[in-house]
Amino acid sequence: MAIILDGKALAAKIKKKLADEIAAKKAEGVRPPCLAVMLVGDDPASAIYVRNKKKDCEEIGIRSLEFLFGADITDDFLVSEIEKLNSDDEVDGILVQLPLPKGLDEKRVIAAISPDKDVDAFVSSNVGQIMLGDPTFLPCTPAGVMEMLAEYNIDPTGKECVVVGRSNIVGKPMAMLLLAKNGTVTICHSRTKDLAEVTRRADILVAAVGKAKLITADMIKQGAVVVDVGMNRDENGKLCGDVDFYPVSEKASYISPVPGGVGVMTRAMLMENACTAWRSRT
């Protein structure tokens, strides 16, 4: 049976460290970090994410600003609101909850965020820094995965690392972070021929496609480290990942659960990025 990569416990440890740092700085008269979150429309999943982020901020002492807008707003309006936050010296980080409603230009909206307040690491200049190996901010989900690997002393050096998924948010930056730690990286996607043949080579497998239980036990090799980034619902409406957890856990050496794995680590790394921005401004 695989060892569980306990994201919940690690996230709690990271948040405790940040909370102690913020409390110590406040005692010295330094203002706390401030994170501005924008939510557009009424997507239920996005609303839950924003609520959880607000809760995290409250736990560790980050001031949280919420901006809720209807789905009928324009790009121009949203960009103007972002520009106000860019020029506000009391705001350290800006996050626009994705996806945006149809009709809004996501690329334009993200590009409007000042790179030094881009706590999601989505702005092109920050993406470029990740590619160059000199990041200011790390994208939250891939960074959370790397923290989990480090916590359990899993070193990607020389390992066959397979990332299933090529999104700009997870797949591509995940590959870059594994490469930066000297992993030999393969990215798989919807056009990959014989996915199972590739995944069976993986010493470290990261599944990030958003397909419930896509990765089955016959698709991994004995002793592989399996990290599940997916967040789906199964046929019974129960939360599950991209990995068929129980059969795969019988074969893997380490595995992350859903929930309680990467998802909570993503939020913890957002808090870390907000504090990184704050440190550079105070």
Can you give the pLDDT at residue 152?
Answer: 98
Residue-wise pLDDT for 271-280, tens only, equals 999 999 999 9
Q: Is 120 a catalytic residue?
A: yes
User: Residue 222 corresponds to which tokens in the numbers above?
Assistant: 């004995």
CA–CA dist 66, 29 (Å, integer): 25
Position 234 pLDDT exceeds 90:
no
- pLDDT bin (cut points 50, 70, 90) of residue 236 is confident
pLDDT tens per residue across span 98-120: 999 999 999 999 999 999 999 99
Q: Mean pLDDT throughout 243-263? A: 97
Strand-strand pairing, 63-69 and 93-96? unpaired
| pLDDT score of 132 | 93
Mean pLDDT, all residues of the chain: 96
Domain boundaries, the chain: 29-114, 140-263
* Percentage of the chain modeled with pLDDT above 90: 93
Residue 92 has pLDDT above 90, yes or no: yes
Has 222 been annotated as catalytic? no
Q: What is the pLDDT of residue 193?
A: 95
Query: Do 29-114 and 140-263 fold alike per CATH?
Result: yes
Taking the domain 140-263, which CATH number applies? 3.40.50.720
pLDDT, position 44: 87
Annotated catalytic residue: which of 53, 117, 172, 213?
53
Radius of gyration of the chain (CA): 19
Known catalytic residue at 97: yes
Q: Is 59 exposed, middle or buried (0-12, 13-18, 19+ CB in 10 A)?
A: middle
What is the tens place of the pLDDT at every residue in 40-69? 998 888 888 899 999 999 999 999 999 999
DSSP annotation string for the chain: -PEE--HHHHHHHHHHHHHHHHHHHHHTTPPPPEEEEEEES--HHHHHHHHHHHHHHHHHT-EEEEEEE-TT--HHHHHHHHHHHHT-TT--EEEE-SSPPTTS-HHHHHHTS-GGGBTT--SHHHHHHHHHT--SS--HHHHHHHHHHHHTT---TT-EEEEE---TTTHHHHHHHHHHTT-EEEEE-TT-SSHHHHHTT-SEEEE-S--TT-B-GGGS-TT-EEEE---EE-TTS-EE-SB-HHHHHTT-SEE--SSSSHHHHHHHHHHHHHHHHHHTT-
Mean per-residue pLDDT, 21-42: 97
Residue of 6, 15, 25, 97 marked catalytic: 97
> Which one of 92, 120, 228, 244 is the catalytic residue?
120
Q: Calculate mean pLDDT across residues 74-92.
A: 97
Give the mean model confidence (pLDDT) for residues 186-195.
Answer: 96
pLDDT, tens digit, 9 for 90 and up, residues 150-180: 999 999 999 999 999 999 999 999 999 999 9
pLDDT at 45: 84
pLDDT score at 85: 98
Residue 215 has pLDDT above 90, yes or no: yes
Between CA 242 and CA 63 the distance in angstroms is 34
Question: Domain 29-114 class?
Answer: alpha beta
Residue % of the chain over a pLDDT of 70 = 100
- Rounded CA gap, 95 and 122, in Å? 10
Average pLDDT over residues 15-24: 98
At residue 116, the pLDDT reads 97
Write down the pLDDT at residue 235: 85
Does the model's pTM come out above 0.85? Answer: yes
